[in-house]
Homo-oligomer: A and B are copies of this chain.
Amino acid sequence: MFKAIISADTLRTTLDAVSVLVDECKIHLNEDGLAIRAVDPANVGMVDLELSSDAFESYDADGGLIGVNLSRLEDIAGMADAGQLIHLELDEETRKLHIQIEGLEYTLALIDPDSIRQEPDLPDLDLPATVVIEGGDLDRAVRAADMVSDHIALGVDDTSELFYVDAEGDTDDVHLELDADDLIDLEVGPAHSLFSLDYLKDMNKAIPKDAEITAELGEEFPVKLHFDLAEGQGSVTYMLAPRIQSD
């Protein structure tokens, strides 16, 4: 059983956070809210998303699992105006999701969850450095790096107490340094890892420019990017595997 009402804005932000990595996903319809975990086909980027029932206008579920085509669901949510409410109701028999937006009813065929790529286990890493940065600053770093290279280094300098971004191209380089004053928070520790810019660009697309991003970093370790959704009633964690340094 699943029946819920959610604002178009909240649903869209939620779906976007996952669709930048995968086309289809499983959604756990837990009693206390939705949960989604997914990994991209190359096993490089993962997402772990939770949306509390408090983020909904009304929410009623008892632990089901559905599989959805994300771009299709995004298109439907895109039919609603920002402030409009979207009604969702699962028909257990036909395995279809009924979606209503002000008189308009859309019947979405679900996907057999067993046919969807298995959900990843997010490794429990104890990363030594933590940086809390504005979404807009991360966006600037990613766009600048993209002008010169297809990979990007994220690191923390213990001694100078700063977070840095490095991108080295064939001829040109980009470098950004942010110290404690430029950041919302900084816990220094040894950290330097290289990442694929394509993945970070995709994740960056889903990160609101005014969000606080908590980035956990280590040396040649994955980066974890955490931010809140729906005014704190939802949360997203991205994990991105490092590339091997080719120096």
Q: Known A172-B72, A178-B103; judge A79-B109 contact (CB<8 A).
A: no
Contacts of A182 in B (CB 8 A): 103
Contacts of A104 in B (CB 8 A): 140-141, 144, 174-176
| 5 more CB-based (< 8 A) A-B contacts, given A106-B144, A106-B175 | A79-B143, A103-B182, A105-B175, A106-B147, A109-B171
User: Which A residues from 153 to 182 make CB contacts under 8 A with B?
Assistant: 171-178, 182
Determine the distance from Cα of A105 to Cα of B107 in the docked complex, in whole angstroms: 51
Q: Are A140 and B79 in contact (CB under 8 A)?
A: yes
Q: Are B109 and A174 in contact (CB under 8 A)?
A: no
Contact of A176 among B75, B103, B174 (CB under 8 A): B103
Interface string of A98-115 (1 = CB under 8 A from B): 000001111111000000
Q: Known A103-B177, A177-B103; judge A108-B140 contact (CB<8 A).
A: no
Contacts of A66 in B (CB 8 A): none
Q: Are B172 and A107 in contact (CB under 8 A)?
A: yes
Q: Known A79-B143, A144-B79; judge A105-B72 contact (CB<8 A).
A: no
A211 at the B interface (CB under 8 A): no
Which chain B residue has the least Cβ–Cβ distance from A166?
B105
How far in angstroms is the closest Cβ of chain B from A23? 15
A138 at the B interface (CB under 8 A): no
